[in-house]
Chain A
């Protein structure tokens, strides 16, 4: 409810202008002098009036008259003194600043304090801490890095390891800033789309790290290291590059088209080779036509199907391993001496990422014993080289002798001769000739009936391998080399151990119906997207599978690669 008490009345001519810097010291007492302080804040109080000499007609001397205005109380009772001075001296005061003036003063003091703060901040002892925009990653903050930097540059400031601005001190910042403004950070540059192109600071990175040609050579431009590697964010590991940075190129139709055109002009040999060597452990990856320039905006929306899957469906790629392997049989119930599971053959490597290679000795020998003589269960053929197999078969007397002595414990000469003789007669009873035995060992398959009606009592090499007849009389049959790739998808990394939680192998690898070795049995991208998507809730960033760099770009600091020893001349 409004209070109806009226405002106090005051004479309008006594209004104090608030824009003055000084006011009379008596203002707070409610009785400021009429003159007021000077603009510099000095008290100008003297007397209440300047008496005026009045000479009436006929008078010679005249008399002084008070000139105090009505606003000051009018003429005083006592009047001026005989000497013409006012009898009412105004008491002196100490003028004080108005609020407005005090605010101005506060602005000036604050500005001075700010400049002082800046000067202290950029002084040599505090500079690095003051301007540092955040903690640097553990690697660049390590003592080793500091020592190496000191050794390389002689500068104690680790900021100078990356920033030229830190090398020359604060005095040079203005010119450097002006240079940056003109060169790469002019207003027109700030609205450029796409990643930051290679910059002067990259040179600092390259002092320790390898060159920048570590992505595809058909990139429209080399991009600055800082585009992906964001320093001053955390004191731990540098955070992985955000997918958005990958998509800023790979999601850009124009850039991808430009990249595709560039790639067409570049020699195919310029592109990184991921054939993985000649041992066949890593499936060869042939660069797709047009390169990796399909427009991708997100893994779960438009990432293309894995090339291996796409190419296998199109018949362009299949497992060329010569080993005959039927997953359906091996995983089937009742078809094996004992029930097998995936881990019986597929063992993870030490890091749990990939599967170790499958070897006959470790994974096949339990069932595929290579026994050829029904009467001698422990005597098995050697595995690995057909030459040794043939040599084994052609030296059966010796093999029986060694087996009898070592395995049967027959030590007497006569008994040993009798043992060998018995075994010889037995095997000769099973096969008509040594050539027949050799032939069956190499070529017999399950249920193979040879032309002469003979049938092997065992399963030979041909059960699992592609065996070709000998090309000359003394040559051995040729067995195609087995090559089981340990990795098919070489463009992305994968960690099997991380996927064991809540998933079985069969959830991704549908092998229960796979009867052919040529089946890739790799999961489609759809099964990945089930989890690696916003709906699935699992990380679906580009870097969770891919790396930007073709190889490890890090060269250990302070260490030079060993050079091959030179022969003395």
Chain B
């Protein structure tokens, strides 16, 4: 598409010397449409199509905006501080949008395949439940004859693991290192456990495994929400700067009275 637009630009631009203004206005209209895509959710009573439909439109128009951007900057990186700031912000918004698209298409599949699917808002509850279950398990198994090594293993290595999400980057990268690390730690501790404690260690390891799955869910679901922290605020920033750009360009144009 960019190639086609470039060819059209080379051919038509000389005949339409104000094409930069024209593409600028079209670009602004597209940005407004994209930025206020979310407003559709505010007016559900108007029945303007499903969210999925509008999301698809948002994606297509977003792609077109990338091509329009190249046309508007005449296929060369702009000079000047203001223009460069706008270009950089647009690039970030566009790239974050593409990344967001990829995330929203690929992460749900990964979440389903990984199992132990949990709604994001329920994760603290599930995490707490896992923690309490683990603590109860260890406390039930601890008596005067229990090896202190297991108690220390829980308080030093495992207890804190249940307190909050861990290994976010590793889970995003599908790394199995955290799980492998815990498995090796459990294998190590089993050497010091009595036969009666092995069952408890097995259950505890299962809880740790569930916590890993919960962290995996958390990592992916958090990323599914976090990219919007870049995409949405900078979209508004881009709009403000674009309006300023229009005012500057028009007031400095040869046509300004």
Contacts and interface: CB of A to CB of B under 8 A. Distances in A.
A248 B116 contact: no
Contact of B17 (A1, A110, A195): A195
Contact of A107 (B232, B241, B255, B257): B232
A150 to B, nearest CB: 20
A239 interface: no
The residue among A114, A226, A227 with the most chain B CB atoms within 10 A of its own CB is A114
A121 B15 CA distance: 34
A30 B125 CA distance: 4
B151 interface: no
Given A29-B128, A190-B22, A176 B240 contact: no
Interface string A98-115: 010011001101110111
Contacts of B240: 111, 114-115, 118
Contacts of A131: 80-82, 248, 252
A244 interface: yes
B104 interface: no
Contacts of A118: 240-241, 244
A177 B256 contact: yes
Contacts of A114: 236-237, 240-241
The residue among B22, B128, B233, B236 with the most chain A CB atoms within 10 A of its own CB is B233
B17 A227 contact: yes
Contacts of B18: 185, 189-192, 196
A179 B251 CA distance: 8
Contacts of B252: 131, 159, 163, 165-166
Contacts of A181: 250
B126 A180 contact: no
Interface size class of B (residues with CB under 8 A): 35 or more
B118 A7 contact: yes
B233 A109 contact: yes
Contacts of B78: 133-134
Given A18-B121, A29-B124, A192-B16, A177 B247 contact: yes
B116 A185 contact: no
B34 to A, nearest CB: 15
Interface in A1-22: 1-8, 10, 14-16, 18
Contact of A111 (B128, B237, B246): B237
A183 B255 contact: yes
Given A111-B236, A180-B256, A201-B253, 8 more contacts: A8-B122, A109-B233, A115-B240, A118-B244, A130-B82, A131-B82, A165-B248, A165-B256
The 4 closest A-B pairs by CB, nearest first: A30-B128, A184-B255, A134-B79, A244-B14
Interface of B: 13-19, 21-22, 25, 78-83, 85, 112-122, 124-129, 131, 164, 210, 213, 225, 228-229, 232-234, 236-237, 240-241, 244, 246-257
8 contacts: A3-B113, A5-B116, A7-B118, A28-B164, A180-B257, A224-B254, A232-B80, A248-B14
